[in-house]
Amino acid sequence: MLSLTYFPLSPPPPLLLRRTTTTAPTPRPSRPLRATARNIAIEEEKDDAVVVRGRRVGEDPPLPAGLRREAMPGHVAVIMDGNRRWARMRGLPAVSGYEAGLRALKGMVEMCCRWGVRVLTVFAFSSDNWLRPKVQVGFLMRLLEGGMKDELNNFMKDNIRFSCIGDSSKLPDQLKELITYAEERTNHNSGLQLIVAVSYSGKHDIVQACQSIALKVKDDVIEPEDINEFLIEQELQTNCTDIPNPDLLIRTSGELRVSNFLLWQLAYTELYFTNSHWPDFGETEFVMALQSFQQRQRRYGKRDS
């Protein structure tokens, strides 16, 4: 470290001036803020303000160029495909692809929080994935559990509500307990709702809804004539959210199918397919998907006006 040595200068000759002394005024004690209703309200507002990713809730951060806030989708669903292919292309083991995919999901959650997406549903593990090798399935279960443990405090800090859908009967007991705990702990959060589909099947979702309705008919709770689309939607597993039907579905890695994911809920969803593998899906790719969505006209069967 460079050190500096200071050499004192010779004192100047005395000046022939009368020396006077002054006494510094005693500082007056600061008056406490008067406890008016206005001041109390301001302090309470400061204390109660929720800060999400460095900003107060209610403040709208700037959107990337080319996006319009009023046209943002309320619910985005994602089929996170291509983790193993991403790893294979780089000469890495499959587990590295899944770990990179988890990092991509964290980035996706952050973007949704900043840009005003209200619900994000991701297809983490299909009911058909149980047919994969046990070693791979075991790793995916541990990865999901570890990711939830790592992010739970962030969910609370960022006001994220966590939900899980799917057939939980096959999940490890420790993972089931963690899911229940995370859902209960974040239940009152009012920001982004993150829905993770684990051991999920769109067909099974519809079947279990029909079974639940059939039991209600059997028990004389409802009449067969009462069954309609609204009643079925109430029995689907996506009844955990106020926006059960996605506005936009994104599938990565070039596959052009929905793979038994949210079959009922995707009836009027806009579909977006990209060749990017999921670990490579970042801000640039998400902006492109949102721009494509915002350029479309959603008519729901109606003619152009």
In the chain, where the domains are located: 74-294
Residue 44 has pLDDT above 90, yes or no: no
Task: Say how far apart CA 111 and CA 96 lie, in whole Å.
Answer: 23
119-134 average pLDDT score: 97
Residue 190 has pLDDT above 80, yes or no: yes
Residue 81 has pLDDT above 80, yes or no: yes
Query: Among residues 282, 265, 259, 262, which one has the least CA distance to residue 128?
Result: 259
Mean of per-residue pLDDT scores for the chain: 87
Q: From its phi and psi, is residue 189 left (phi > 0), alpha (psi between -120 and 50) or beta? A: beta
Higher pLDDT, 35 or 247: 247
- Reduced to 3 states (helix: H, G, I; strand: E, B; else coil), residue 258 is coil
141-158 average pLDDT score: 97
Query: Among residues 273, 263, 265, 272, which one has the least CA distance to residue 296?
Result: 272
Query: How far, in Å, are 141, 193, 298 from residue 172 at the CA level?
Result: 8, 24, 41
280-296 average pLDDT score: 98
Q: pTM of the prediction?
A: 0.81
The CATH label, of 3.40.920.10, 3.40.1180.10, 3.40.50.150, 3.40.30.10, for the domain at 74-294 is 3.40.1180.10
Residue 191 has pLDDT above 80, yes or no: yes
Please work out, in degrees rounded to the nearest 5, the angle formed at the alpha carbon of residue 241 by the alpha carbons of 237 and 243: 110
Reported as a pLDDT band with limits 50, 70 and 90, residue 299 is confident
Q: Which token pair is 176?
A: 């089931």
Reported as a pLDDT band with limits 50, 70 and 90, residue 300 is confident
Residues labelled as active-site residues? 81
Q: What are phi and psi of 92, to 5 degrees?
A: -105, 155
Q: Are the C-beta atoms of residues 281 and 86 closer than 8 Å to each other?
A: no
